[in-house]
Structure 1
């Protein structure tokens, strides 16, 4: 069996790859593994379970709840809420485990299961591996130990989760949003009610699109992966800015008043300066991945801020932040982590903080985002190659060295093997897009000949 857990939980086509049986089995395995690790020691365990509005989330939630309760875990079912809300509630309610059912920005047929440990933090790789091993062991025949009588878990709905989370968002907002007109694209997802409520109560005049989830339309031509509707709506309504979430609202991208995209790098840059001004940017350091635009790095250097770069994936950003005590990190895709207020990327919190900066400074989002200039970035996927030899090919190393020499200090080359496919991603940045495109294609040809 291939590894079930990816970089962000277990995902697959619901009822094909991700079945009710798998959801139930993984939930029981998680309960057993955490019990063995001493997480439940001395008390009756509790789990918070939430989901996005996908139709398949209904039966998968039932399976997860059944698995946990059958393993002796009490369940608080919070219903449709964003991933960061489930993480937050896991922490503030003192729960031993959180479970979110969502495939984030993926299309509707997919779904996923994400586990959170006590405190609302993502499970460590070792625990995920152990859960997978225990699940497989029992799937192939070893019986579970099952409590009976009063030992089985109890299940109740926790409708207070919505208000608890919205109140938390408002409590950490540095200033109100009065006077701002904001368009919110909720991707017909988990934040369809939470985000408009939070922005409205913060004082903004809110226009919503993509806020009518029916279980089938999540991420369908809207949200952070499809910004066209938001760009048009911001211009049409004469709004100050637009905010877009993905299906589970752990991402935030933005649009300025003219309908131009403001990506995760630019949002990080704006928030970094705001937090430094407020004295909350510990170590004057921001954490980002190696895929961040070179323009972001140059902007941070110009502003006298430190940049720590990690492997691609918000979990690696978070690991670095927790390890070193940093307060802000994120990805170009819009996963932004403000560690003092959230344990994971929180799209609604990010959008609120971005809007708060606009309101506090009186500057337009375009002006604020202008702190960095996005350099042209070309990405070429080279398929059907031996990705394991990326770091050992002399021919490829020579080609990269030549490309870096040609680009100089205003360009960058990154070769990244895919984690799931036999391909290598060639990324080139340069001040001139035609130069970036030419260098990227030249490198892609070398990757194909050297590793094909």
Structure 2
């Protein structure tokens, strides 16, 4: 049975149209029915979207209809959920968020008692049960408020970063009008930093609206004033972060992972001596890790795949260029606030603008649209395209790299080239695009 509702990061779509209250109730009820506990305790958290109240009520109804207790944590970053599930020994957590998507969308994802996302098999069973329609039950749970959820999450961050000294450091935070708008400044101010905020006034509709980790230019422009030592931009649900140095230069996930990997290596804390990243990671990252004697495992795009690879190998650190950074030594999921703290710890008071962890090669990325996924597959399998990719790869061998792949969410061919110079990256990318476009016509 193929999954129809769950993607790589839960169920996500237009709130009220695709993700209705009825669907949310059915999913939550089915998830609780899978629990072996007689009265499952289920944490429910959400981001700042206006549809969050509706879906929170529906999820709580589904949980209680299946005989579980719904513990409402309110607005919290997604990564708080797996930490609190572990802290309190809960059966499950349900997160209501569409991450970096616009406010019109929303989503639901579940975390198991161990803090990790549910398995594919569990998600398939939830889909099957949710599709069966309502079922009578005499087991009725309760809806309770988790009054200390925010402070419990901050306590987990303090447990790991309580000795980090940031006194006098000037930080600018872009909270994307999302779930980090209270807690990110709170923990950094506790460590002594002087914090200023932007996009920290959510109104239900302004989440990710031209701000946050997916719209980093707003933070970069403010950073060029020279008034701050470093800036951090979170996405709407707080599971990813990007940084900007005092010159306004963006520090992406590759660089943040490189900074952290070298830090843990120096401390002897890089479990397994390696890191896991996706196929999108810059060639410069691989070169830097090779020079440092750090192994690199490569996964498909998606933090779920990075997480699975880390667990398989017994490693602790990995992530994505987009800013999902996973430190299994702290949490079973990516955590934007914790990643910002890890970056500051790794710098040890040094200037982010002088980071020097890796040299990022110039990159050119072009998306080419196909009529449908069948046409996309034919183009990628065509001999002229495979020949062009082989030629380009040979040309850049040892100096850069080529990646031509299908998008996982749209009928797009993504053509990416990294080379020692902007001009060479553009030239090689143009050649590949011509080869692909010829097969898409």
Same fold (TM > 0.5) = yes
For the residue of structure 1 that corresponds to 2:275, the secondary structure is strand
**TM, length-normalised to structure 2:** 0.95
**Residue 170 of structure 1 contacts residue 202 of structure 1 at CA under 8 Å; is this kept in 2?**
no
Do structure 1's residue 131 and structure 2's residue 126 form an aligned pair?
yes
Which residue of 2 is the match for residue 235 of structure 1? 224
Deviation larger for 323-332 or 427-436: 427-436
Q: Distance in 2 between matches of 1:448 and 1:239?
A: 45
Deviation larger for 323-332 or 414-423: 414-423
Q: Distance in 1 between matches of 2:224 and 2:385?
A: 46
Which residue of 2 is the match for residue 371 of structure 1? 357
**Residue 10 of structure 2 contacts residue 107 of structure 2 at CA under 8 Å; is this kept in 1?**
yes
Q: Distance in 1 between matches of 2:409 and 2:136?
A: 35
Q: Distance in 1 between matches of 2:361 and 2:289?
A: 14
Do structure 1's residue 156 and structure 2's residue 144 form an aligned pair?
yes
Which residue of 2 is the match for residue 255 of structure 1? 244
**TM, length-normalised to structure 1:** 0.93
**Which consecutive aligned stretches of 4+ in structure 1 deviate over 6 angstroms post-superposition?**
none
Which residue of 1 is the match for residue 160 of structure 2? 172
Shift of 1:235: 3.4
Shift of 1:390: 5.8
Shift of 1:416: 1.2
Shift of 1:100: 0.5
**Residue 92 of structure 1 contacts residue 119 of structure 1 at CA under 8 Å; is this kept in 2?**
no
Match of 1:100 among 95, 102, 113: 95
For the residue of structure 2 that corresponds to 1:265, the secondary structure is helix
Matched ranges for 1:280-319 at <5 A: 280-319=269-308
Which residue of 2 is the match for residue 23 of structure 1? 24
**Residue 226 of structure 2 contacts residue 246 of structure 2 at CA under 8 Å; is this kept in 1?**
no
Match of 1:382 among 368, 371, 389: 368
Match of 2:383 among 379, 388, 394: 394
For the residue of structure 2 that corresponds to 1:77, the secondary structure is strand
**CA root-mean-square deviation:** 1.6
Matched ranges for 1:136-147 at <5 A: 136=131, 138-139=132-133, 143-146=134-137
Matched ranges for 1:59-208 at <5 A: 59-136=54-131, 138-139=132-133, 143-146=134-137, 148=138, 151-173=139-161, 175-208=164-197
Q: Distance in 2 between matches of 1:145 and 1:432?
A: 65
- Superposed CA deviations along residues 373-422 of structure 1, whole A, max 9, x for unmatched, are 11111111121162334664322221111111222311211111122322
Q: Specify whether residues 180 and 357 from structure 1 end up closer, same or farther in structure 2 by C-alpha distance, changes over 3 A only.
A: farther
- Superposed CA deviations along residues 9-51 of structure 1, whole A, max 9, x for unmatched, are 111111111111111111112122x23xxx42xx421100000
Q: Specify whether residues 170 and 235 from structure 1 end up closer, same or farther in structure 2 by C-alpha distance, changes over 3 A only.
A: farther
Which residue of 2 is the match for residue 407 of structure 1? 396
Which residue of 1 is the match for residue 50 of structure 2? 55
Q: Specify whether residues 133 and 355 from structure 1 end up closer, same or farther in structure 2 by C-alpha distance, changes over 3 A only.
A: same
Q: Specify whether residues 281 and 390 from structure 1 end up closer, same or farther in structure 2 by C-alpha distance, changes over 3 A only.
A: farther
**Residue 390 of structure 1 contacts residue 415 of structure 1 at CA under 8 Å; is this kept in 2?**
no
Q: Specify whether residues 2 and 45 from structure 1 end up closer, same or farther in structure 2 by C-alpha distance, changes over 3 A only.
A: closer
Q: Distance in 1 between matches of 2:346 and 2:379?
A: 42
Q: Distance in 2 between matches of 1:444 and 1:396?
A: 9
Q: Distance in 1 between matches of 2:180 and 2:212?
A: 11
Shift of 1:106: 0.6
Which residue of 2 is the match for residue 218 of structure 1? 207
Shift of 1:237: 6.0
Shift of 1:345: 0.6
- Superposed CA deviations along residues 168-213 of structure 1, whole A, max 9, x for unmatched, are 1122115221231111111110011011100000111111111111
Which residue of 1 is the match for residue 265 of structure 2? 276
Deviation larger for 165-174 or 181-190: 165-174
Q: Distance in 1 between matches of 2:175 and 2:376?
A: 37
Which residue of 1 is the match for residue 41 of structure 2? 46
Q: Distance in 2 between matches of 1:423 and 1:346?
A: 29
Do structure 1's residue 420 and structure 2's residue 409 form an aligned pair?
yes
**Residue 380 of structure 2 contacts residue 436 of structure 2 at CA under 8 Å; is this kept in 1?**
no
Deviation larger for 426-435 or 170-179: 170-179
